[in-house]
C-alpha cells in the first residue's frame, strides 16, 4: 500500500495496491489471501470458565481471613458461627459471578452484528459467500437492507446512504460517494467513500473493494481495545480491600495480646484463653459486612430498576455515588434521537413551528408531505429521519396526511443524489393538475427558482428576496439546525427527460424548514442538578462541532461566562495534543465533537489520571472501549447495540441522561447507608474488643466465648442490614462528590467509630463495675455471675440503641425520626428478643452461663442504652456547631 489512506486513492490506485480488478479475485488468489489474512471474523481472548470465575471471587484478603476464621471456629466447636461465616462468603461469591460481565460477551455481540453473507465478484461472476470468507481485494456489491460485511472502499455509489451511528455517532444516515478524497486527516465520519463492517445500508446501492477484514477493520480495532481493557476496581471494592487488611491486622494483634495477657496472669486455662482470643477475633471482624454490602447494593439495584436504571454489576451502584464526571453521548441520550421540525420560514417570516396553525392545503405543507419517501407501518414511520420528521410534524397536528398522499398520486420522480442535493416528485392532484415539488439544499434550490410565493401571490424573485432567504438560512445554520428549502411549479405533463438540468428549473420558492434532533426536555434540569451536585457533565459525540455546541449550549453544559470556543474541541484537535498536555487541559473541555473510539478512551483516561471517578455513556460499537475503561459504563437500553450493553455496568431502560442523575442520587444514598452500617458495626466491635481487653487486663472474670459470639450474631446482622434501607437525606445531592481518595471513614466516620466504640466499652465496663460494687447477692460467685450477665445485656442492648444513632452520621436522630425506618424497628425488636431469651428463659440462660436479672438491674441496663443515645446526640450537636 502507498502512503495514501484508502479513501484518498483513486480507483486505479486502489485496484493496483490490492492487486485486484472490477471482476474480482480468482479462487486461487482468494485461497492465498485467506491463508495470509485469516478469516473475516473477530477474535476474543480466552473466556474464563464458570468455576474460574467463582474461584476468583475468593481472592479478596478479607474473604480469605473470614474463611480462616470459619475453619478455626469450626475446629474449636463453634459450628454455628463457622457455618454462618461460610454462608456469607459463598453468597458473596455467587453474587459476584452472577453480576460479572467479561469482555468476551462484548466481542460475541460484535460477532452477532456482522453480516452473515455477502454478494461478491469472483472470477467475473457475482456469487453469494459467507462474510467470514471475504479477503482484502474482494469486490463486494451492497444494496439497501444489507449489513456491511467488512471495511470497504466504494468504487460506485448510486443514491447510497448508510447508517453509521453505532460507529461514528452520526445522528442521520450518511450519503456516500465513490470519488477519492484529498484531505489526509479525515475523521471516520467524514470518509464518505468508505463503509465499515456492521454499518447498515438504508438506501441506494453501491460496490467497493474490501480493504480490511477481521481484526484489521475499524470494528476489529474496537474489539482489540475491549480485549486489552482491564476491569477497573470501583471505589467500593478498593475501600473494602483496604478496610479488610487494616481491620484484620489490628484485630488479630489485639486477640494475640489478650491471649498473652490472660496466660501471663495465669487465672484462665490455656484452652479457655485460646477460645476467648479466637472468639474475640471472630466477633471483632465484621464478617457480616460483605453480606450487608451485597444486600444493600442489591436493594439499591431494585430501586434503580424501578427508575429505569438497570444495574449489571453490583459495585456500580455505589460507584455512581462517587461520580465526578458524566461523559455522555449526545444522540439519543441528551437528545431525542428524532429529527423534529423547529422553525418554518414562509411568506417572508420566520416562525416557531410548534406555534404555527398548519393548513395541509398550503403549498409548503404539500411539498413536505408529497416530496417524501416515508412509509407507514404498524410500528410507526419508516424511512430517512429527515423525511419522517416532516410527516410526523403534520401527524402531530392531526392533519390528514394519508389522505393527501393517496389523493395526490405520484406520477414520477427524480431521486436525491449527493451532487445536486435535490429531490423532485411529480404529483397529480384531485383536480387533474400536475405539480412538481422540489426539496433540497437552499443554495442549490435558489439557483433554480425565478419566482417566489408570498401570502398566496406568486411574483418574480429579486435580490432582496434572495438575500433575506440566505440570511435566514445562515441564522438557522449557526444554531446547528438542518435546513431544507422547498419549491414547486405547475406542469401540463411529466417532462420527457427526467434530469436536473431540464426538469428542475423555473421553480417557485415556497419556504425553508429548520430541523434538529432536539434535546430531551428533562435533560437541562438534570444537567443543572449535576452541576449542583459538583458533577461535571461532558458531551462526547461524532456529530459536527456546530451541532454539538448548539445542543450543549441549550442544555447548559457549556459555561456561558467562559469562551465557548475554549470549551469545545474536535477529534482532529485532540490528535494534536500529547497525553501529558491533554491531561493538564482536560478540565477546560466540556464538549468533544467529531471524535473516534480511541478519543473517547483518551478522554476517560485523562479524567481518571486527574483522580476523578468517571461515568461514560454510549450506545454504539464505537463506545464499547470507553465504556469498559470508565469507572462505570452506562449503556442505552433502547437504541444501544448489544456490544455497548455488554461492555456496560449499567443500562438505561429509557436512554435518558436524567436517569443517570437519579442513579447518582441512589448511589450516594447506598454509600451513605453502607457507611452508617459500617459505623454501627465497627463501633460495636470496638466496644466488644475494649470490654474483653480491659477485663483481661484487670483480671476480672471475662465474658465467655459463647456470650461474645451470640452478641455478635444477634446485634450485627439484622440491624446493620436494616440501616441499608434508610431513606436518602434531603441534602444528599447538594454535597460535592466524595472523590476517588475518599473512603468509608471519610466525613468524620473514623472519629465517630472510635469514640462511640470506646463509649460502648466503657459503659459496659461501668455497669460491670457497678454490679460488683453494689451486688444483689451476698455470694461472691453469684455477684460475679450477675455482673457478667448485666455486662452481657448492656453490651448487647447498648448496640441496639446505638443502631438508632447510626441512622444519620451528623444529623440529630430527633430530626431524622426514630421510627421512620420500619425495617430497622423490627430488626431491633427481633434482636432484643433474641438477646432477652438467653437471660429470662430457663435452660437458655444455663447454656449461656447467665443469671436472671431483677427489675432494678434491667433498669440499669436499659438506662445505659438511653444514655448512649443522649451522649451521641450531644456530640453530634457540638460537631454541627464546629462545622458551621
As annotated, the active-site residues are 329
Q: Chain-centre distance of CA 126, in angstroms?
A: 45
Q: Is 108 helix (H, G, I), strand (E, B) or coil?
A: helix
Q: Is 157 helix (H, G, I), strand (E, B) or coil?
A: strand
Cα-trace Rg, the chain = 36
Question: In degrees, to the nearest 5, what angle opens at C-alpha 727 toward C-alphas 722 and 730?
Answer: 150
Residue 8 to residue 430: CA distance in whole angstroms = 51
Q: Where are the beta strands (DSSP E) in 164-199?
A: 174-175, 194-195
The set of cell numbers assigned to 2 is: 502507498
Contact criterion met (CB below 8 Å) for 542 and 186: no
Residue 873 to residue 264: CA distance in whole angstroms = 41
- What backbone torsions phi and psi does residue 384 show, to the nearest 5 degrees? -65, 135
Give the torsion sign (CA, 669, 670, 675, 676): positive
Contact criterion met (CB below 8 Å) for 194 and 7: yes
Question: In degrees, to the nearest 5, what angle opens at C-alpha 504 toward C-alphas 501 and 507?
Answer: 135
Residue 823 to residue 725: CA distance in whole angstroms = 7
Q: Is 329 helix (H, G, I), strand (E, B) or coil?
A: strand
How many angstroms separate the Cα of 640 from the Cα of each of 165, 313, 331, 552, 759? 10, 18, 11, 21, 54
Q: Chain-centre distance of CA 248, in angstroms?
A: 34
Q: Which residue shows C-alpha cell 476474543?
A: 44
Residue 435 to residue 425: CA distance in whole angstroms = 8
Residue 201 to residue 2: CA distance in whole angstroms = 29
**Distant-in-sequence, close-in-space partners of 657: CB < 8 Å, separation ≥ 6:** 326, 328, 333, 334, 520, 523, 526, 527, 537, 617
H or E segment to which residue 582 belongs: helix 579-585
Contact criterion met (CB below 8 Å) for 607 and 586: yes
Q: For the beta carbon of residue 710, count every other beta carbon within 10 angstroms.
A: 23
Q: Which residue shows C-alpha cell 449489513?
A: 147
How many angstroms separate the Cα of 170 from the Cα of each of 162, 240, 614? 10, 42, 24
Q: Which residue shows C-alpha cell 437541562?
A: 524
Contact criterion met (CB below 8 Å) for 25 and 122: yes
**Distant-in-sequence, close-in-space partners of 418: CB < 8 Å, separation ≥ 6:** 175, 176, 177, 192
Amino acid at each position: 500500500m502507498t502512503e495514501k489512506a484508502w479513501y484518498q486513492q483513486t480507483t486505479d490506485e486502489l485496484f493496483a495496491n490490492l492487486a485486484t480488478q472490477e471482476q474480482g479475485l480468482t479462487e486461487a488468489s482468494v485461497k492465498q489471501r485467506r491463508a495470509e489474512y485469516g478469516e473475516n471474523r473477530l477474535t476474543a481472548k480466552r473466556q474464563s470458565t464458570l468455576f474460574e470465575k467463582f474461584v476468583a471471587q475468593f481472592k479478596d484478603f478479607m474473604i480469605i481471613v473470614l474463611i480462616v476464621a470459619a475453619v478455626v471456629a469450626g475446629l474449636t466447636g463453634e459450628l454455628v458461627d463457622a457455618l454462618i461465616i461460610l454462608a456469607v462468603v459463598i453468597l458473596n461469591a455467587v453474587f459476584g459471578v452472577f453480576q460479572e460481565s467479561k469482555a468476551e460477551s462484548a466481542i460475541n455481540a460484535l460477532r452477532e452484528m456482522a453480516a452473515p453473507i455477502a454478494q461478491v465478484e469472483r472470477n467475473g461472476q457475482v456469487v453469494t459467500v459467507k462474510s467470514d470468507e471475504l479477503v482484502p481485494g474482494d469486490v463486494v456489491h451492497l444494496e439497501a437492507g444489507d449489513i456491511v460485511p467488512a471495511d470497504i472502499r466504494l468504487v460506485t455509489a448510486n443514491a447510497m446512504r448508510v447508517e453509521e451511528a453505532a460507529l461514528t455517532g452520526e445522528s442521520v444516515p450518511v450519503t456516500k460517494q465513490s470519488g477519492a478524497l484529498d484531505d489526509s486527516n479525515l475523521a471516520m465520519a467524514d470518509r464518505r467513500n468508505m463503509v465499515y463492517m456492521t454499518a447498515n445500508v438504508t438506501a441506494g446501492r453501491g460496490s467497493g473493494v474490501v480493504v480490511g477484514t477481521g481484526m484489521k477493520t475499524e470494528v476489529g480495532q474496537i474489539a482489540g481495545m475491549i480485549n486489552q481493557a482491564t476491569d477497573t476496581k470501583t471505589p467500593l471494592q478498593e475501600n473494602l480491600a483496604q478496610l479488610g487488611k487494616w481491620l484484620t491486622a489490628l484485630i488479630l494483634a489485639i486477640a494475640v495480646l489478650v491471649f498473652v495477657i490472660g496466660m501471663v496472669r495465669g487465672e484462665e486455662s490455656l484452652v479457655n484463653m485460646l477460645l476467648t482470643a479466637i472468639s474475640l477475633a471472630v466477633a471483632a471482624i465484621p464478617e457480616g459486612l460483605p453480606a450487608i454490602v451485597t444486600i444493600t447494593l442489591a436493594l439499591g439495584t431494585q430501586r434503580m430498576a424501578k427508575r429505569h436504571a438497570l444495574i449489571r454489576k453490583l459495585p456500580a451502584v455505589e460507584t455512581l455515588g462517587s461520580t465526578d464526571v458524566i461523559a455522555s453521548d449526545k444522540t439519543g441520550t441528551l437528545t431525542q434521537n428524532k429529527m423534529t421540525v423547529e422553525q418554518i420560514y414562509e411568506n417572508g417570516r420566520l416562525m416557531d413551528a410548534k406555534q404555527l396553525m398548519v393548513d395541509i392545503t398550503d403549498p409548503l405543507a404539500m411539498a413536505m408531505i408529497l416530496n417524501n419517501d416515508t412509509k407507514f407501518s404498524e410500528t410507526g414511520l419508516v424511512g430517512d429521519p429527515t423525511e419522517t420528521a416532516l410527516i410526523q410534524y403534520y401527524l402531530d397536528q392531526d392533519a390528514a396526511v394519508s389522505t393527501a398522499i393517496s389523493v395526490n398520486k405520484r406520477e414520477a420522480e427524480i431521486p436525491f443524489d449527493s451532487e445536486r442535493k435535490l429531490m423532485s416528485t411529480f404529483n397529480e392532484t384531485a383536480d387533474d393538475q400536475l405539480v412538481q415539488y422540489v426539496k433540497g439544499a437552499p443554495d442549490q434550490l435558489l439557483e433554480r427558482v425565478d419566482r417566489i410565493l408570498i401570502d398566496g401571490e406568486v411574483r418574480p424573485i429579486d435580490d432582496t428576496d434572495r438575500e433575506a432567504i440566505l440570511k435566514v438560512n445562515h441564522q438557522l445554520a449557526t444554531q446547528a439546525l438542518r435546513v431544507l428549502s422547498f419549491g414547486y411549479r405547475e406542469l401540463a405533463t411529466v417532462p420527457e427527460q427526467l434530469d436536473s438540468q431540464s426538469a428542475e428549473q423555473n421553480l417557485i420558492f415556497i419556504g425553508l424548514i429548520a430541523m434538529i434532533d432536539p434535546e430531551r426536555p428533562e435533560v437541562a434540569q438534570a444537567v443543572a442538578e449535576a452541576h449542583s451536585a459538583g458533577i461535571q457533565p461532558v458531551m462526547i459525540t461524532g456529530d459536527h462541532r456546530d451541532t454539538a455546541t448548539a445542543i450543549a449550549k441549550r442544555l447548559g453544559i457549556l459555561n456561558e461566562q467562559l469562551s465557548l470556543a475554549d470549551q469545545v474541541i474536535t477529534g482532529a484537535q485532540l490528535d494534536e495534543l500529547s497525553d501529558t498536555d491533554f491531561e493538564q487541559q482536560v478540565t477546560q473541555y466540556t464538549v468533544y465533537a467529531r471524535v473516534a473510539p480511541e478519543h473517547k478512551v483518551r478522554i476517560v483516561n485523562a479524567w481518571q489520571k486527574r483522580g476523578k471517578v468517571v461515568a461514560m455513556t454510549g450506545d454504539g460499537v464505537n463506545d464499547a472501549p470507553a465504556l469498559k475503561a470508565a469507572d462505570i459504563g452506562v449503556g442505552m437500553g433502547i437504541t444501544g447495540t448489544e456490544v455497548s450493553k455488554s461492555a456496560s455496568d449499567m443500562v438505561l431502560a429509557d436512554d435518558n441522561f436524567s436517569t443517570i442523575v437519579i442513579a447518582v442520587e441512589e448511589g450516594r444514598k447506598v454509600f451513605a447507608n453502607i457507611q452508617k452500617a459500617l459505623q454501627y458495626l465497627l463501633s460495636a466491635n470496638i466496644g466488644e474488643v475494649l470490654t474483653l481487653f480491659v477485663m483481661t487486663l484487670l483480671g476480672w472474670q471475662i465474658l465467655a466465648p459463647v456470650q461474645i459470639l451470640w452478641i455478635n450474631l444477634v446485634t450485627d446482622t439484622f440491624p446493620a442490614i436494616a440501616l441499608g434501607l434508610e431513606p436518602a437525606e434531603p441534602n444528599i445531592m447538594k454535597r460535592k462528590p466524595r472523590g476517588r481518595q475518599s473512603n468509608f471513614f471519610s466525613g468524620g466516620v473514623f472519629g465517630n467509630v472510635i469514640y462511640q466504640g470506646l463509649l460502648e466499652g466503657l459503659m459496659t465496663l461501668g455497669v460491670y463495675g457497678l454490679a460488683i460494687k453494689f451486688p444483689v447477692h451476698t455470694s461472691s460467685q453469684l455477684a460475679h455471675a450477675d455482673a457478667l450477665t448485666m455486662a452481657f445485656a448492656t453490651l448487647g442492648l447498648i448496640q441496639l440503641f446505638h443502631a438508632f444513632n447510626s441512622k444519620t452520621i451528623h444529623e440529630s436522630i430527633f430530626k431524622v425520626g426514630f421510627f421512620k425506618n420500619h425495617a430497622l424497628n423490627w430488626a431491633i425488636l427481633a434482636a432484643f428478643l433474641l438477646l432477652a431469651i438467653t437471660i429470662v428463659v430457663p435452660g437458655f440462660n444455663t447454656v449461656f452461663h447467665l443469671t436472671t436479672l431483677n427489675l432494678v438491674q434491667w433498669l440499669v441496663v436499659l438506662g445505659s442504652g438511653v444514655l448512649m443515645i443522649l451522649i451521641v446526640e450531644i456530640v453530634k450537636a457540638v460537631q454541627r456547631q464546629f462545622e458551621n
